Chains A and B, each alone.
Chain A
Amino acid sequence: MSTATDEGANARPLLSLRGINMTFGGVRALKNVSFEVMPGEVHCLAGENGSGKSTLIKVISGVYTPAAGAEIVFDGESIPHMTPGMAQARGIQIIWQDLALFPEMSVAENIAFQTLSGARPRPVNYATIRSVAEEALARLGVSLDVDRPLKDYAIAQRQIVAIARALVGEARVVFMDEPTASLTQSETDHLLAIVRNLSASGVAVVFVSHRLAEVLEISSRITVLRDGALVGVYPVEGMTQSKITELMTGRTFDQNTRARDVSGSSVVLSASNLSRPGEFSDISFDLHRGETLGITGLLGSGRTELALTLFGMRRPASGTVTLSGRPVRFASNREAIAAGVAYLSEDRLSLGLNQPQSIADNLVMASLNRILSGRLISTEKKRSLVSRWIADLGVKIGRQDDAISTLSGGNQQRVAIAKWLATDPKVLILDSPTVGVDVGARAGIFEIVARLAEAGLSIILISDEVPEVYFNADRVIHMEKGRIAGVYDPRASTLKDLEASVYA
């Protein structure tokens, strides 16, 4: 490795990329992107899903080879063909968004995996592996049983393991791709403290996060990508969350609460004293025609369990549900769907949509009985039903027969909503409808929600992002540990009040 000249060592970037182009099957994922990291700085890489952040990280780590003409310089050394091994040898460490850990292997092997990689076979020294792992964990001030398989640990600890792995060996720059996505607030605070420590000890950190508050708190500079192209590099001083959002999406968003007074319209769904031991208790509320009722609360507050009960997938231990004035007791969700209740799952990827199947097949999945011709499915009726909903919800698709997985998160979610609207529901329960959906596309989802409510559909909107329910619901129920902790009218209370009680 070449050494830096004494003067200018501080001014010279640790890592610099220029002219990075990357194409996948005709789609240009990166367009002439350049990127720079200074030694010891905390640098934020911002952009929506699909803007090219993860692709750029894969180029830097040698997983992808960029198109000809790319220039990668690390610590003064030009590296025309980066490989994962070369990146590791130079102290470029990545904490992947999906962690890229090995669940069946021990914590020690996961952390010290670098000592196991490489093409040349060598004997394994488990004592070394254990001590390397324990040392890395000690640097983080964490103690885990390193002999246990990783799968015994929850996601937060796995995150710690991934971080510890990045600290093995002489890390010069650590990329963290959405490291806080599955952490609680206190775990996040701990992680941010670690990042500061790394930075203070001269290790550069590139931080990728959707949570803009964190970004503003931790980093000194921001590089923004949009649609695979560089928007710009900005100092954090003077930045605001809305300004970053604007740069990421290229659009401005005004936020006003959409709350209306619908207490005069008829009650569609009414729950009284619903309880399921260990999940929720004594839940009572009325849902009016055309109302959007927000339910928020932390994970574990019982909101999803409540939704599944209303949808007939769980049976209440006590209490009653009334639908259009008639008491109902669903034996299964088939009965709930038939009675006009629809539920959009919070887990779109594995439960909500069947990823390898086509857009059309996904869309008609819950309403097959509406496209029958005799006893068989009519292709014609299917196409026209799909076309109608695609147009109605403004889903951007290529062909109806393309796999749903080819669509962006926002468009997938529109199809998932269309799937339920096609069942002609009276009540639509949306459980965390914006998970994995970009800031820009979120607004589109809520436009649809508002339009549906305007047309008379009753909606229960569940989200752990308090602003989402505050700005988009007519009333907000705050659930805590399975109970209703409060009911808020967004027109009469401020977002701060609501957030204060939820996060209290």
Chain B
Amino acid sequence: MRKLFLSHTTEFVLIGVIVAMSVFLGFATDRFLTLGNAFDLLNISAVNIIFAVGLLVVLIAGGIDISFAVAASVVQYVTALALERIGGGGWVSGLLIAGSAGIFLGAINAFLIHRFRIISIVVTIATFNIYFGLLMFFTKGVSIYNLPDWLTTRVIVYEREMADGSWAEITLPVVVMAICVLATWLFISRTTTGRQLYAFGDNPEGARRFGINIGAMQFIAFGWLGLMAGIAGLMQAHYAQEVVPNALYGRELDVLAAVVLGGARLGGGKGSVLGCVLGVLLVSITQNGLNLMGVSPFAFKMIVGAIILAAITLSSARIEKLVPILAPRKPADGEAAARGESR
């Protein structure tokens, strides 16, 4: 148990914070601890969690991406136009188009990063501007409202009538989110390619000396994020029942903060799917709680920022300093300790 805690400190801290907040909000509001609210939280968080697990893969591989949210907006437009062209389509063709468009936009990032050896933050800030600029230029800022019926009809996967007569519902995006989360987890922790991504992010030169194809790693990481961004874009259009060009603008930083909050390391080699999901949920719960407590929405950003800062400080502080009983036995003997001291 102690070992499990030490290897998953971030996740345990996040669960602790979420439980503490939930208990507090349960007492402070009468709606927070209801099934309806819990399902709402999932419905609201689904799109961000899909983005987050995609971004997680890029962070693990040692990259960063600023462009994925506006890329998802581009995907929404491309998909809406393509669906119109083929006369409506359905969920299968919609997901195929959105997924491929997302992978294509991700591959552009990977190509620029790998071919010209530009660091990913610079490339994706550039493509962020290019994608968004192209989108605004061609749409002239006009939204699309006449989406196909199958896309705008709410799909309720599970529903239950509550005692007060309201309905608690789980909608399609939650199911899609669960599949994306599971797929990402299988991919990064149960396939050799996933482990190579960790190794590449951890020590690129070490991975190269093992004959790992560095270019392939970039394309796989950014391609996966592109796929997730495409799916998330389609889900967001489904949820909002419209396509608005700047609807996702700014979402990248919220997602990035949540993923880092979940223990992913900027610089690569570290991060877990569970932590990533918990990070997004913590931010959602905070906003949801503030909402239920009647706090002004203008204060949200400020408080969410403070929560992120506090949680990251808590989980990155050496846990054994806060809770000395958890201090790991020193793997090294006294000699190594003495050596470390004189360095």
Residues of A within 8 A of B265 (CB): 104
**A87 to B, closest residue via Cβ:** B211
Residues of A within 8 A of B207 (CB): 102
A84 touches B211 (CB 8 A): yes
A105 touches B202 (CB 8 A): yes
Given contacts A103-B202, A116-B196, A154-B332, contact A305 B342 (CB under 8 A): yes
Given contacts A154-B332, A154-B336, contact A119 B202 (CB under 8 A): no
B339 touches A105 (CB 8 A): no
A117 touches B212 (CB 8 A): yes
Residues of A within 8 A of B203 (CB): 100-103
B195 touches A104 (CB 8 A): no
In the complex, per-residue mask of B187-202: 1 if CB is within 8 Å of any chain A CB, else 0: 0011111111011001
For B190, give its contact among A83, A124, A303 (CB under 8 Å): A124
Residues of B within 8 A of A103 (CB): 202-203, 269
For B209, give its contact among A96, A104, A124, A302 (CB under 8 Å): A96
Nearest Cβ in chain A — how far from B147, in angstroms? 36
A299 touches B342 (CB 8 A): yes
Given contacts A100-B203, A105-B199, A301-B342, contact A84 B209 (CB under 8 A): yes
Residues of B within 8 A of A304 (CB): 342-343
Residues of B within 8 A of A267 (CB): none
Residues of B within 8 A of A123 (CB): 190-192
A184 touches B3 (CB 8 A): no
Residues of B within 8 A of A303 (CB): 342
B208 touches A157 (CB 8 A): no
How far, in whole Å, are A297 and B283 apart by their CA atoms in the complex? Answer: 54
Q: Is B161 on the interface with A (CB-CB < 8 A)?
A: no
Residues of B within 8 A of A84 (CB): 209-211
B210 touches A113 (CB 8 A): yes
A300 touches B341 (CB 8 A): yes
Given contacts A63-B209, A113-B199, A149-B7, contact A121 B336 (CB under 8 A): no
Given contacts A184-B335, A300-B342, contact A61 B209 (CB under 8 A): yes
Nearest Cβ in chain B — how far from A45, in angstroms? 18
In the complex, per-residue mask of A80-110: 1 if CB is within 8 Å of any chain B CB, else 0: 0001110010000010101111111100010
Residues of A within 8 A of B336 (CB): 154-157
In the complex, per-residue mask of B205-223: 1 if CB is within 8 Å of any chain A CB, else 0: 1111111110010000000
How far, in whole Å, are A103 and B182 apart by their CA atoms in the complex? Answer: 26
Nearest Cβ in chain B — how far from A295, in angstroms? 13
Q: Is A62 on the interface with B (CB-CB < 8 A)?
A: yes
Interface set, chain A 291-321, CB cutoff 8 A to B: 299-305
How far, in whole Å, are A302 and B339 apart by their CA atoms in the complex? Answer: 10
How far, in whole Å, are A303 and B338 apart by their CA atoms in the complex? Answer: 12
Given contacts A109-B195, A116-B192, A152-B331, contact A147 B3 (CB under 8 A): yes
B339 touches A300 (CB 8 A): yes
B189 touches A124 (CB 8 A): yes
Residues of B within 8 A of A124 (CB): 189-192, 194-195
Nearest Cβ in chain B — how far from A198, in angstroms? 21
Residues of B within 8 A of A114 (CB): 210
Nearest Cβ in chain B — how far from A277, in angstroms? 13
For A104, give its contact among B198, B208, B211, B328 (CB under 8 Å): B198
Residues of A within 8 A of B194 (CB): 124
Q: Is B324 on the interface with A (CB-CB < 8 A)?
A: no
Residues of A within 8 A of B208 (CB): 63
How far, in whole Å, are A395 and B338 apart by their CA atoms in the complex? Answer: 36
Q: Is A389 on the interface with B (CB-CB < 8 A)?
A: no
How far, in whole Å, are A382 and B335 apart by their CA atoms in the complex? Answer: 45
How far, in whole Å, are A94 and B208 apart by their CA atoms in the complex? Answer: 13
B331 touches A102 (CB 8 A): no
B339 touches A154 (CB 8 A): yes
For B270, give its contact among A96, A101, A104, A119 (CB under 8 Å): A104
Nearest Cβ in chain A — how far from B192, in angstroms? 5
How far, in whole Å, are A143 and B47 apart by their CA atoms in the complex? Answer: 46
Given contacts A117-B212, A124-B191, contact A102 B198 (CB under 8 A): yes
How far, in whole Å, are A347 and B342 apart by their CA atoms in the complex? Answer: 11
A102 touches B192 (CB 8 A): no
Q: Is A243 on the interface with B (CB-CB < 8 A)?
A: no
For B192, give its contact among A117, A149, A184 (CB under 8 Å): A117
B206 touches A100 (CB 8 A): yes
Q: Is B340 on the interface with A (CB-CB < 8 A)?
A: yes
A102 touches B189 (CB 8 A): no
In the complex, per-residue mask of A105-145: 1 if CB is within 8 Å of any chain B CB, else 0: 10001000111111111111000000000000000000011
A121 touches B191 (CB 8 A): yes
Residues of B within 8 A of A211 (CB): none
Residues of A within 8 A of B189 (CB): 124
How far, in whole Å, are A257 and B202 apart by their CA atoms in the complex? Answer: 47
Interface set, chain B 1-55, CB cutoff 8 A to A: 3, 7
**B213 to A, closest residue via Cβ:** A119
How far, in whole Å, are A376 and B142 apart by their CA atoms in the complex? Answer: 54
How far, in whole Å, are A6 and B22 apart by their CA atoms in the complex? Answer: 76
Nearest Cβ in chain B — how far from A257, in angstroms? 27
Nearest Cβ in chain B — how far from A451, in angstroms? 30
For A102, give its contact among B190, B202, B341 (CB under 8 Å): B202
Nearest Cβ in chain A — how far from B343, in angstroms? 8
Q: Is A153 on the interface with B (CB-CB < 8 A)?
A: yes
**A148 to B, closest residue via Cβ:** B331
Nearest Cβ in chain A — how far from B204, in angstroms? 10
Residues of A within 8 A of B339 (CB): 154-155, 299-300
Interface set, chain A 142-185, CB cutoff 8 A to B: 144-145, 147-149, 152-157, 184
Nearest Cβ in chain B — how far from A145, in angstroms? 7
Residues of B within 8 A of A149 (CB): 7
Interface set, chain B 310-343, CB cutoff 8 A to A: 328, 331-332, 335-336, 338-343
**B271 to A, closest residue via Cβ:** A104
How far, in whole Å, are A304 and B339 apart by their CA atoms in the complex? Answer: 11
Interface set, chain B 263-293, CB cutoff 8 A to A: 265, 269-270
Most interface-central of A58, A149, A301 (chain B CB within 10 A): A149
How far, in whole Å, are A88 and B209 apart by their CA atoms in the complex? Answer: 11
Residues of A within 8 A of B (CB): 58, 61-63, 83-85, 88, 94, 96, 98-105, 109, 113-124, 144-145, 147-149, 152-157, 184, 299-305, 347
Q: List 15 A-B contacts (CB under 8 A).
A: A61-B209, A62-B211, A83-B211, A96-B209, A102-B199, A116-B192, A117-B196, A119-B213, A121-B191, A123-B192, A124-B191, A147-B3, A300-B342, A304-B343, A305-B342
Top 3 A-B pairs ranked by shortest CB distance? A84-B211, A300-B338, A154-B336
A-B contact sample (15 more), CB < 8 A, given A101-B203, A105-B199: A85-B211, A100-B209, A102-B207, A104-B269, A105-B269, A116-B195, A123-B190, A148-B331, A149-B7, A152-B328, A154-B332, A155-B336, A157-B332, A184-B335, A301-B342
Residues of B within 8 A of A (CB): 3, 7, 189-196, 198-199, 202-203, 205-213, 216, 265, 269-270, 328, 331-332, 335-336, 338-343
